[in-house]
Amino acid sequence: MSSQVSMNIQTKSTLFSGIQPSGLLTIGGYIGALRNWVRLQHEYDCLFCIVDLHAITVRQDPKTFAERCLSFAAQYIALGIDPKTATIFLQSHVPAHTELTWLLNCHAYMGELSRMTQFKDKTQGKKEQTIGVGLFDYPVLMAADILLYQTKLVPVGADQKQHLELTRDLAVRMNHYYGQIFTVPEAFIPEVGARVMSLQEPTKKMSKSDENEGNYIALIETPDVIRKKIKRAVTDATMGITYEPDTRPGVANLLTILGALTDRAPTALAEQYADKGNAALKGDVADALIAFLEPFQARYHELMDNRDALYAILRRGAEQTRHRAEPTLRRVYGAMGFWQG
């Protein structure tokens, strides 16, 4: 019986994803990524990581950092990721991530890392003296995250595709030098995907680290603030509601949010609201957000008020992943010819 159970676990493909504990988790992150994780946990052997080591590529306040990491973990769980089904852990709890990063660093090239568009965007206009090496090396740490677990599938948004390509290149390169040591991972594009845009600048993606708080709805936002932010969301002066993301991005974004929360296509919703105004649509978007977030927040606060249970979940996650990471790390050291005692 028990061997049957472990067989099942082993035959499921491994899926890895991570979110940086910076800023606040938003409704955009839920609709674009976390919502899919909740579904995927039943089909795949899922590792969901809070990538705290990636987060320090930008200065973090040591006074609030730990609390934010815990808060992210509690939010994963409150959204429906079941720690008995999927593994939830903090990246810094598994030293193999940084160890493998070094081994990969010695096979990555300055040229390929310099070409990463995220690196170029984040450093644009900055003096070289002020650009952290961690920011440059960020994609190699991400490759280590993925390769350490012989990951098959990585759900990534458009902005992370290039990093996944680099991960694949590194895996292929290492396999070529040293023999088959890594599974070459693939991008996983979920069937249901929706990109939620900024509320004030609906042509750019909603970001959890946006300086303007009016641009996003945090998952832990209060009902009053949700109503206020949705009310102020940028729309346009055209009469009636239509779904035209190119010409009416603000209205389309509201339809996307409402559609995701009520399981309806934005185009179908547009027909339903055709004769109504922006105010009616906004009122319903706010209602849907509050209806979704209230029970989520209750679960979240329960977890944050019961620290021992949360700590236990994260300690178990760390222990499980440390065990799982070890064979790959040993295999890489061995293949590279290190004496391992």
Which residues contact ligand TRP (rule: CB under 6 A)? Answer: 16-18, 20, 51, 54, 142, 145-146, 154, 156, 160, 163
Six token digits for residue 163: 């990093």
Pick the closer one to ligand TRP by CB: 76 or 243: 76
Catalytic residue chosen out of the listed positions 152, 208, 229, 282: 208
Catalytic residue chosen out of the listed positions 12, 63, 120, 122: 122
Pick the closer one to ligand TRP by CB: 77 or 142: 142
Q: Is 208 a catalytic residue?
A: yes
CB of 157 to ligand TRP, least distance (A): 7
Q: What are the distances in angstroms from CA 288 to CA 36, 82, 114, 291?
A: 19, 24, 43, 5
Which is it for strands 186-188 and 87-90: parallel, antiparallel or unpaired?
Answer: unpaired
CB of 329 to ligand TRP, least distance (A): 17
CB of 290 to ligand TRP, least distance (A): 27
CB of 9 to ligand TRP, least distance (A): 20
d(CA 235, CA 246): 13
H-state helical runs in the chain: 2-11, 27-29, 35-40, 52-55, 65-78, 96-105, 110-114, 117-123, 133-147, 161-178, 223-232, 249-262, 266-272, 278-305, 307-336
Q: Closest residue to ligand TRP, Cβ-based? A: 18
Pick the closer one to ligand TRP by CB: 144 or 241: 144
**DSSP at 33:** I
Pick the closer one to ligand TRP by CB: 143 or 281: 143
d(CA 41, CA 326): 23
**Which residue numbers are catalytic?**
122, 205, 208
